[in-house]
Each structure stands twice: as structure tokens, then as C-alpha cells.
């Protein structure tokens, strides 16, 4: 018999396929449907619907909270960005992140304006209150999410 996590994953993937690549679900409703706790839904989404696997996830908490999952459609730029995101690793310094961003501009994957916004978001000026090595881990996660959001 399949694990509950596998059943939830298959259900969500089928919903995404049926709706042309994007769904909006409520965590509690899905948990009720599968007779499990909402944290089980979180676990499935956090581990099986990641940027590296071609999904972009937005979550809004609260009374009317929802989770929006979008399948990223790949093209030449999408394949390039996905390859970079997967190769980037779990941690990146500001200097290395800026090299990636500069290359994206050079290859016309992002605009100079988008590059400025990304540089501002990943700078030590902003992230300086977070101690190393957590800062570089957070920076990598932030940069990956920004890049994957470009593909949505």
C-alpha cells in the first residue's frame, strides 16, 4: 500500500495536470480530505514540490490562507536557470551570488533592473544581521526562489 505522502503527492500532481499547471489549495481542507494533520500536507509540499523539481510554491497563512503551486514550464532559459539553481548548492556568498547575477544579465536571462533588485535582496547590507553560515544558506534559498519565480 502506498504511503500517505505518496497519495497526497499524486493527488496534488493530478490537480496540477488537470488545471494546466497551477492550483490553489487550502491546507486544512486537503488535510481533512486525507484524514491527516496539516503538517503532513506541509511536509509533502516542502519535500516534493520544490524549485529543484520544477515547482514554484507560494504560501499564505491565516484564516483565508492557501497554498499556490505552479509547475514551471521549461524552455531554453528555463532549462538554463534550473540547471544553475540545481548547481548552486545550499549556500552561497554575496560575491558568488553577484557573479551569477552578472552572468544572467550578460546572457540576457534577466534585465539590468531585475539584477539590481536581486543584488539588493541578497546583499550583506540586508542580510548582515543573520550570522554566518546561516546567512549564506538564506541567501542561496532567496536567490533560487527569485530565479525560479522568473519562470512562472
Q: What is the pLDDT of residues 46-100, one digit of tens each?
A: 888 887 677 888 887 766 568 989 887 656 677 777 777 777 888 999 999 998 8
Residues forming CATH 1.10.1200.150 domain(s) in the chain? 76-149
The model's pTM: 0.57
CATH 1.10.1200.150 fits 76-149, yes or no: yes
For residues 97 and 22, what is the distance between their CA atoms, to the nearest angstrom?
A: 29
Question: Quick one: cell of 131?
Answer: 550570522
Domain 4-71 in this protein, CATH class:
alpha beta
Amino acid at each position: 500500500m502506498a504511503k500517505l505522502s505518496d497519495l497526497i503527492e499524486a493527488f496534488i500532481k493530478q490537480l496540477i495536470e488537470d488545471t494546466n499547471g497551477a492550483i490553489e489549495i487550502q491546507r486544512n481542507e486537503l488535510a481533512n480530505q486525507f484524514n491527516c494533520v496539516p503538517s503532513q500536507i506541509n511536509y509533502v509540499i516542502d519535500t516534493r514540490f520544490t524549485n529543484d523539481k520544477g515547482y514554484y510554491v507560494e504560501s499564505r497563512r491565516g484564516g483565508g490562507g492557501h497554498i499556490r503551486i505552479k509547475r514551471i514550464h521549461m524552455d531554453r532559459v528555463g532549462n538554463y536557470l534550473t540547471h544553475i539553481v540545481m548547481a548552486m548548492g545550499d549556500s552561497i556568498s554575496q560575491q558568488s551570488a553577484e557573479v551569477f547575477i552578472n552572468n544572467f544579465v550578460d546572457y540576457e536571462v534577466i534585465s539590468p533592473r531585475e539584477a539590481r533588485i536581486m543584488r539588493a535582496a541578497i546583499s550583506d547590507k540586508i542580510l548582515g544581521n543573520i550570522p554566518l553560515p546561516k546567512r549564506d544558506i538564506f541567501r542561496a534559498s532567496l536567490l533560487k526562489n527569485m530565479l525560479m519565480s522568473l519562470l512562472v
